[in-house]
Structure 1
């Protein structure tokens, strides 16, 4: 299967943030097989490094809530919403259940364990509605 393309014919880039290696590897493979360009991060710090370097390319951030480090996934999605509001946000957890008021506007929650088909479909729908970033100077 070819790379999933956005309207502008550029690959749809997803930053996947998951500290558990096996889950991250599985989801990266599933999303890559579905045609996404997946950039992997083990924690919020790694995700922010990727976002700083590739902010104009990223369509969606898909993160777990519970991660090591100074910033968990919930804080990460709020930070991304404030700094890169065009990036779509998907947050996951097998332990927490969030209320819509816990999330930034437009963010979505998906429970673990993942229903792989449903998760890919959700990422696809969210990426289709991605807003382009402002013109980079």
Structure 2
């Protein structure tokens, strides 16, 4: 029996329309996606989902204490 591994991506952007577009592009490329609307929300997701995430797509300039560079 062969199991396939589906890659997961974390998409982070404070603009909901960009986040929606990025998520669509990632899903069309074969990824399942998690979404966060800022860096702080993305960091909060990591304890639960870090072991599954293979790609991070992040905006750089976002509100909150954690920007895309951090």
TM-score by length of 2: 0.88
Matched, 1:41 2:11: no
Cα distance in structure 2, aligned partners of 1:19 and 1:41 = 8
Aligned twin of 1:32: 27
Matched, 1:12 2:3: no
Which 4+ residue blocks in structure 1 deviate beyond 6 angstroms? none
Aligned twin of 2:18: 23
The CA RMSD over aligned residues, in Å, is 1.2
User: Helix, strand or coil for the counterpart of 2:57?
Assistant: strand
User: Helix, strand or coil for the counterpart of 1:26?
Assistant: helix
Give 5+ residue unaligned stretches, structure 1.
1-7, 76-137
- Looking at both structures, which has the greater relative contact order when contacts are Cα pairs under 8 Å and sequence separation is at least 6? 2
Cα distance in structure 1, aligned partners of 2:67 and 2:45 = 16
Aligned twin of 1:52: 47
Which has the greater radius of gyration?
1
Give 5+ residue unaligned stretches, structure 2.
none
Aligned length: 68
